[in-house]
Amino acid sequence: MVRLLASMLLAFLIFDVPVAAAVEPLPAIKAPLATKVVFLDIAQAGDRLVAAGERGVVVYSDDVGETWHQADVPTRGTLTALAFVDAKTGFAVGHDAAILKTTDAGATWQLLNFEPESRNVMLNVRFRDARSGYVVGTNGQLWITHDGGANWDRRTLAVEDWYQNHIFDVAWLRDGTTLAVAEKGVLYRSPDGIQEFTPIESPYDGSYFGALSPDGVAFVVYGMNGHVFVSGDAGNAWQEVATNTDQFLLDATVLSDGRVLLVGAGGAVLAVEPGSGHVHSAPRPDGVGINAVLVVGDAAYLAAATGGIRKLPLTELLPR
């Protein structure tokens, strides 16, 4: 999941950003107002909630979001995504090609990779199991690990020799077919997530910000201007979902009833039935953008574009 104020993220990706003079990472500053920063992802580690965002801030809660504590993080670069493989072990990625790992449910983190000179931003992290995972990022970066992040098979995906599309997400089916989604309407596919990722025909030419497989047999991809597409044949053909919104869709999760919950800019909130294409739209009345969403039981946790984590009953987020 890509989870940043859309205009800020796209501006960062499009324009050249100078490399910081320091080559050694600086730890995130412990701040009384750490819970007010802009968070870009939220994840669950057992009974704990963990959120990560700007300035390397990671916070965690053991009481369903009532109180939050700031974690010890060895970098103050913005963190863009989280993934937990069990109740204790998780990964975070972000600016300066940073990859971090925790083994205590997000309370402390260790750097696995840090390359400020590369100018790469890692945009997402996904794990199939405790050992096998993906990190994707700017300039076509797709890295694969088979040993829990100790080593990475680094790849650069491209459809043009002169330009590497920024990769935003990875999803896979039960049969192993793996899809990587990128900007400029580019889709890459691998038959097993290990062999070569090759470009496939895309249903539109705008950027994709995320992908998932709600049932293991179909792909759902989403991105700019409310675009959502579903494929039931591993990406050979796509059906567009009529979302009736032009907001950027930035994150998604699967609800207990199989629907895909999507959130994004302008307070966009959609629930899509992948099979029928039916859409239930319930945009937030305050219009505040949502960078990320996590649903736990009957509660939804939203990373607001204005900062902080908001907790809402799921019935309030998606009223019937």
Residue ranges of the domains in the chain? 6-317
Sort 66 into a burial class: Cβ within 10 Å, 0-12 / 13-18 / 19+: exposed
Whole-number pLDDT of residue 139: 96
Q: How far, in Å, CA of 22 to CA of 308, rounded?
A: 29
Average pLDDT value for residue range 272-292: 97
What value does the mean pLDDT of the chain take? 93
Does pLDDT of 250 surpass 70?
yes
Question: Is 115 a residue whose pLDDT tops 90?
Answer: yes
Average confidence (pLDDT) over 123-149: 98
- Residue 161 has what pLDDT? 77
CATH class of 6-317: mainly beta
Per-residue pLDDT for 9 more than 70? no
Q: What is the tens place of the pLDDT at every residue in 187-200?
A: 999 999 999 999 99
Say if CB 81 and CB 41 are below 8 A apart: yes
Predicted confidence at residue 7, as pLDDT, reads 36
User: What is the dihedral sign for C-alpha 125, 209, 160, 98?
Assistant: negative
Kindly tell me if the per-residue pLDDT of 164 is higher than 50. Answer: yes
pLDDT band with cut points at 50, 70 and 90 for residue 22: low
